[in-house]
Every structure is written in C-alpha cells, then in structure tokens.
Homo-oligomer: A and B are copies of this chain.
Amino acid sequence: MNFTSDNVSGAAPEILEALIAASSSGPTPSYGADPLTARVTEKISALFERDAVVFPVATGSAANALALATLAPPYGAIYCHEMAHVNTDECGAPEMFTGGAKLVGLPGAGGKLTPGLLRATLEKAGVGVVHSVQPAALTLTQATESGTVYTPDEVAALAEVARGYDLPVHMDGARFANALVRLGCSPAELTWKAGVDVLSFGATKNGALAAEAVVFFRPELADSFAFRRKRAGHLFSKMRFLSAQLDAYLTDDLWLRLARYANAMADRLAAGLTAIPGARLRDPVEANEIFIDLPEPVIAGLEQRGYAFYRWDGTVIRLVTAWNTEAGDIDRMIADARELSAATR
C-alpha cells in the first residue's frame, strides 16, 4: 500500500501490449521516422484540434527542460510557482538545458500563480536593462504541486499577463490528464485556447512506462527543439517504443479512463480521511493528490502498519493515487486510520 507517488505504479496492460506489437512489426526506421511516431502527432493534433508539432521524450524533466530551453535564452528569466517541479525537483535541469537561465519562483496559494503577482513581478523585471535577466517564459504546472488545478479562465488570465510581455507560456502537464478530467473541459480549452504555447503532455505517471510528449501549438517556436533533444541524449533510436506508448495511451480514451480512475480513488481516500477527527485538507483534492493534515498518532500508526506516503510539512502528509490503485487498499487505509484515531482519543 504505497501512496508515495503515482510513479510507483506499473504500466497499463494496453501500453505493454502496444510495445509488443511495435516490436513485432519488422525493421522500422529509427529516430522518429517511423509510422507510429507520425500517428502520434496526428492523434495529438486531432485531440487538441490544432496542427501541433510533437516530440516524444521519456521523462517529464526532459520534456520540461527541453521545452523551456527552446523558449528562453541563457540570459532569460522563467517565471514559475516557487514550488514548481522545475524549480525544486529537477536538480537544475532547466538551468542546464537553457545554459543558465534563471527560474523566478513566485508564491501563490494552493500551488497557483496569480496574475496580480506575476504582473507586478514583470513590471519590476527590468525589460531591456542589461543588468537583469530578461523575462523569457511563463511555466504553469497542471495539476499543480498542491494537487489543485487551474481552470481555463485562470490559465487565460495568467497567459494574458505573459502575452503583455511577449512571453510564451509553457504548461508542465505531468498530471495533465488528471486535471483535464476533473475540469471536464476539452484539451484545447485547457491549453492553446487559454494561451498555452507548449505543453509537456505527461503519460508516465498515468500508466505509461516512460513517455511524455512535448506539444508545440505554435510551430514557429519549435525550430531548435529537435537539435536540443538529440544533443541532450533524448532522441531515442528505437523511437517507436516511445510512440507506441503514446499511441496506446491515446487510443479509445485510455488516458482519460486511467486518470478518472486515479482521481476517483483520490476522492474516495480523501472522503474517508477527512471524516477523521482532527483531519483537515490543506488543499482541495482536484486531481489525484491529497495533502492532508492528520493527528500525529494517526500518521505514525499508519506508517507502522506499512502504509507508505510522504510527510510533507509537519503533520501534513501527501498521498497519491494512481491508475491502478486498488479500492480495497483505499478502504483498508481509511479503516485503519479510523481505528488509530479512535484509539488515541
């Protein structure tokens, strides 16, 4: 019963089957010149209702860092939430890929940036002043690091501020599917229609082995990407094995089904735990992550009984559900937490 992250889960059967099928199809052009890779671009373009330029890569950090390096010069500033994965959990990948651009982390409740603070920050950023790194990109995390989601309107409001400074907008969509199914809008509405120019479209956490797609909605921004990807060791020779994962992910709404399931499990777990005396959600559960404050004896008891999760901050713990979390495990955990709670009163 491991709730530390959705990346402790395996891969969906449909995706594994796609790998086997891809392997059996005989000699295949390498480095992305294969039919599967072309099909992924078509599918993503159809899904997002826009001709997109699509680059499969294997990790979310690669997707983000390559996308940002394509947008920002070495003397650029990239605006993000102070808790954003790119700022805190990638060991400086964006800095490496951009050649030393600066991530400017801004605070914001619920893991979300606000247009007001973004505007105020940009106003003081020193555009054109050689002493200052130059505003170069905005990156939003969807779902956020707090398990919340930006609505299309919230995205649009931030993108509008960015646009006022000619900043392209990147979205780190490591949990894009989870956000989307919660919001019930279309992929287009949550991205380019709201002003997003480039999306790191995640699949790994939601049932792939290791596959993400970098999706450029403005093709003119993508010019250097292919060279940067190769140069970073992220161009797979047997690319079909990345594309096969993405292809299966997008077939028959697999990606949406997996995300809906993970979200439902998060809801179920949150509902059970919040009923415990003293429990309090730190943030609303809007994707598949729960940040909840629990009495210390309950936390300690759960750990002792073998439940794995992160202690986030004091007595706030993080619990993440996945596409294959079992309902029985959820229910068992809730029951255990209740029992522990009762015992401590």
Contacts and interface: CB of A to CB of B under 8 A. Distances in A.
Interface string A65-79: 110000001110000
A11 B23 contact: yes
Interface of A: 1-2, 4-5, 7-11, 16, 19-20, 22-31, 57-66, 73-75, 88-93, 95-103, 130-134, 204-205, 209-210, 224, 226-238, 241-242, 308
Given A100-B99, A236-B59, A231 B27 contact: no
The 5 A-B pairs with the shortest beta carbon distances in the complex, nearest first, are: A62-B233, A10-B23, A95-B100, A2-B27, A7-B237
Given A23-B11, A234-B59, A101 B93 contact: no
A232 B231 contact: no
A222 B9 CA distance: 29
B22 A19 contact: no
B62 A131 contact: no
Contacts of A61: 230, 233, 235
B11 A130 contact: no
A188 to B, nearest CB: 27
Contacts of A103: 102
Contact of A9 (B27, B101, B204): B27
B100 A227 contact: no
A91 B237 contact: no
B92 A74 contact: yes
Given A27-B308, A74-B231, 9 more contacts: A19-B19, A58-B210, A60-B233, A62-B232, A65-B233, A91-B132, A91-B227, A93-B231, A96-B232
Contacts of A226: 130
Residue of A8, A91, A204 ringed by the most chain B CB atoms within 10 A: A91
